[in-house]
Structure 1
Amino acid sequence: MTAKGKDHNGTASSVTEDDQEYIEEPIDEEWNDEEASALETSDEVPIADYTIPVTQILKFPDQAEPAEGYEPRLCGLEGEHAGNCYRVLNRRLTFGRDPSRCAILFPYEAGEISRIHCTLRYIEENRLFILEDNGSSNGTFLSNGERLKPGVRYELRSGERFSLSGRQQCFEVKDDEQRVV
């Protein structure tokens, strides 16, 4: 079907409002190329030299910030983020490969990690970390090997670990205020 409603045989399809049946009827007119090339013959600026004004800039999530001092944090133990610690206080950290939605970002080639794998946040009043799997293909696991059920929130305390897609990407949550001396 062409933009003018013609099929490749030169017939047009129309619908009657009464019975909603399709009726095909032959069309005798020919395609007019003059309509399509109106800008080519005008004295206006060519399309290639025209700049489209930006009216909306896509907002990407803030990338995870390095943790400072003893604030609640997420630390990478193994995998892509090993050796890095990130702030968790007053924010939600989403893990995955989608740069438009994830703060803890994995490379596109890391196929074992879903585009939006899981989410971690910190509840300051209770001093708890909340971990939720977002329906990832290869799962999010607690340190005891239990696979998180998608959409269910799991509580983690300081020092507890979890991993993405088995044990390839391992993390630990820390809140040194809970440390017993």
Structure 2
Amino acid sequence: MPSNAPSFGELLGATQRSAVHLEMRDSYAATERFEAWRRGERIDWANQASWWHPYDQLIADTVARGVTVRRARIVSEPVSEYIRWEHYVTHANVTAGEQVRWLPRRAATGLSLPGNDFWLFDGALLRVHHFSGDGAVVEDEMMDEPAVAQLCATAFEKVWELATPHEQFKL
């Protein structure tokens, strides 16, 4: 299904204040980087040039413009293998300037949450991620309905308030 979403770079380029991302799945489609990690390959974090990707630079540039970028992940415990890998590679997100927090799913029971992962830009524009059952992206849908944006903003802030900063979250 075709996506009506502008590129992520375009969306961040137009963002003036904040970009927040809520992730709620315990696994996503496998990537080569994930498969390499599963084989025991590890990143030499001291050699930034070996792991710095265009995404990292985009985040760094966005944060340098004064935009706050936050990511919250709701995870089941014990965590899945995929989440262990995500926790490991989050070092890159944090180095690029993202603030990242983790919330055990059991602590989210009392929260009203949207049905899909999303990015929310400046509290008004949503990029909603639709995934297949195996975690592959099916479509990214753009939405700017104020009530939906507010629901997602409120959900994100509640998760953020309860979640543990990346540096303190132990698997």
Bucket of the pairwise TM-score, normalised by the shorter protein? under 0.3
Which structure would you say has the larger Rg? 1
TM-score, normalised relative to structure 1: 0.24
Higher RCO (C-alpha 8 Å, min separation 6):
2
TM-score, normalised relative to structure 2: 0.25
Higher strand share: 1
